[in-house]
Chains A and B, each alone.
Chain A
């Protein structure tokens, strides 16, 4: 009888298949490993923060005192410059034209002085001639008075001409200063980190979101660490701190505190929206580190851990540090 064996056999097969399905279909998904190992703190208790690398001198966004078209740029990105070295020149044609006018004005003023001097001489000699006449009847007292006054007037005119020369000289100096201000110079010794202008572009005076030129002293770098205001009370200045390079935690640097900015600032905008409200503020601590330890660039972000005392009141906690 086939049914006698067929049904139990089918049932057995069914059960085996079900068991196989149970085993094969319930394998857990494999765990996706981290692409790079994340950095973790070498301390049992610590504050974590993100740090951004900046030059010790901070990054100086160089501005221009006058607005104008950029004529030429004399430095390249990455170039080391001494203090006072010209960085870029603005278009100075108009100022130079003014300078020529002012020079001509000076020459004219000087010529006026010569004219005034000649006049003084002229009226003085006429006055002396009149004074030399002893017979009072030969010259009217009116004439005498006139000649004497003419000397005073001529002298006053000479003084005025001399003052005009000074004025013209000052005007010339003024224009020269303007000319000088069209050349933007390095305020400190340092490296050119960024050049955001090109000849022909308009450089406007005042605060800019994109600085014209960024300068910094890279001899010594600082890492600026943002510490959440909620964690700020746990921060102790002299505690050890370590920074890890993002992307490879093999690169780490021990930090020494340079200074703490005592003013707690709003955290840099999270979305870039100008209308956004910021309600997180951060304490900023600046640390210095040995530049040779890690290959870093200014502006790069780092993961920073600062040792701190463990305050968590966990009653069941084992002594965790």
Chain B
């Protein structure tokens, strides 16, 4: 029987391809759009992910997300250090400063100031140079994307590609001289500004004069210390906000979910993909069943019971569904692979495979259901009519 079902399905190549195509595109849209969405959202907190060493981030209670800097007084660092359960606490400066490039244009950069001694919170991957080189005078480390593109030197021929910033080049940060001593790889941020790493005290001298300049206090808990309990203790003792690594990511993520149109835009895309996929696949599948109604009638007349027919239709649905799904996620992965070096945000977590799988299954079940109803109501006598 299964063989007959497959024969039926693949007998008409055009129809077969049509169903598969419909499901492939439905699956593609339902995977690729959420992947871009997830990629975009994960960029909102990519800076927090990159700074992996500390357990807790301490900041002003009014901070809403990672780029919302409300600086603290320098002495808060020592108050946090004095809380029991804290292994160490380090200052971090994060702010947007203007860099003047050699061709005179200005570029806003995300300047990160690390603790002078330990350089905690530095870039995860160094492509050239060492983090320790930040101890040299006027030294900064620039991220590779910024060095290649926004901070790059103008091309000698007009219209040509920019020359990437290299170790040894100088920048002008807020009228201060800065020498590039390293190129780092960091995850792109939401605003995709070039990231410039330097030491905390140098970042303070680059920053415009303000009374408070301490953006975050990075805290490592003592081994065996419960993080949630320590965050509560820090909050109670200092009156500041303390978030664990994941809580801070969540805070940032929720801010973007609530305050930007991104989730709605992508939600609509995904819903449209689902509806179009369901309509195309469902309709083609239903048409296909209608055309093969005769064959089903013959089978019924020959004594096949409803259960057998149901199994046949389900098999057909599962087959086209799996093929469409496989092709769809494959194409998505291919798309992601092709775009991996571009500015496009693309992240493909395993949950997405399940999400689109569930979506395609839903479409298949829907298509199979309407076909099954038709077949079950079928009178075997139809074969002999007309």
Q: Restricting to A1-51, which residues have a CB under 8 Å from any CB of B?
A: 1, 3-4, 7-8, 10-15, 17-22, 25-26, 28-41, 44-50
Kindly state the separation between the CA atoms of A38 and B353 in the bound complex, as whole angstroms. 42
On chain A, the number of residues with a Cβ less than 8 Å from chain B's Cβ atoms is: 67
Interface residues on B, range: 35 or more
B16 touches A35 (CB 8 A): no
* Per-position binary interface string of chain B over residues 309-349, scored 1 when its CB falls under 8 Å from any chain A CB and 0 otherwise: 00000000001001111111111111011001000000111
Q: Restricting to A215-256, which residues have a CB under 8 Å from any CB of B?
A: 226-228, 230-231, 234, 246-247
B83, B87, B331, B353: which contacts A40 (Cβ < 8 A)? B87
Q: Restricting to A283-321, which residues have a CB under 8 Å from any CB of B?
A: 305, 308, 310, 312-314, 316-317, 320-321
Any chain B CB within 8 A of the CB of A267? Answer: yes
Q: Which residues of A contact B331 (CB under 8 A)?
A: 14
**Also in contact, A280 and B117, with CB within 8 A (given A15-B325, A231-B82):** no
Q: Which residues of A contact B187 (CB under 8 A)?
A: 29
A48 touches B81 (CB 8 A): yes
Q: In the complex, which of the residues B74, B324, B331, B349 has the most CB atoms of chain A within 10 Å of its own CB atom?
A: B74
Question: Shortest distance in angstroms between A64's beta carbon and chain B's nearest beta carbon?
Answer: 32
Question: Shortest distance in angstroms between B140's beta carbon and chain A's nearest beta carbon?
Answer: 16
B73, B124, B325, B348: which contacts A11 (Cβ < 8 A)? B325
Q: Looking across the interface, which residue of chain A has its beta carbon closest to that of B131? A: A35
Kindly state the separation between the CA atoms of A280 and B84 in the bound complex, as whole angstroms. 23
Kindly state the separation between the CA atoms of A26 and B81 in the bound complex, as whole angstroms. 34
Kindly state the separation between the CA atoms of A20 and B337 in the bound complex, as whole angstroms. 11
Any chain B CB within 8 A of the CB of A282? Answer: yes
Question: Shortest distance in angstroms between A131's beta carbon and chain B's nearest beta carbon?
Answer: 93
Any chain B CB within 8 A of the CB of A137? Answer: no
Any chain A CB within 8 A of the CB of B372? Answer: no
Any chain B CB within 8 A of the CB of A142? Answer: no
Any chain B CB within 8 A of the CB of A210? Answer: no
B348 touches A1 (CB 8 A): no
* Per-position binary interface string of chain A over residues 49-82, scored 1 when its CB falls under 8 Å from any chain B CB and 0 otherwise: 1100000000000000000000000000000000
A4 touches B78 (CB 8 A): no
Any chain B CB within 8 A of the CB of A273? Answer: yes
A11 touches B326 (CB 8 A): yes
Any chain B CB within 8 A of the CB of A277? Answer: yes
Kindly state the separation between the CA atoms of A8 and B116 in the bound complex, as whole angstroms. 58
Question: Shortest distance in angstroms between A26's beta carbon and chain B's nearest beta carbon?
Answer: 6
Any chain A CB within 8 A of the CB of B92? Answer: no
Kindly state the separation between the CA atoms of A310 and B186 in the bound complex, as whole angstroms. 40
Q: Which residues of A contact B212 (CB under 8 A)?
A: 270
Q: Restricting to B64-87, which residues have a CB under 8 Å from any CB of A?
A: 73-75, 78-79, 81-87
Which A residues fall within an 8 A CB radius of B? Answer: 1, 3-4, 7-8, 10-15, 17-22, 25-26, 28-41, 44-50, 226-228, 230-231, 234, 246-247, 267, 270-271, 273, 276-277, 279-280, 282, 305, 308, 310, 312-314, 316-317, 320-321
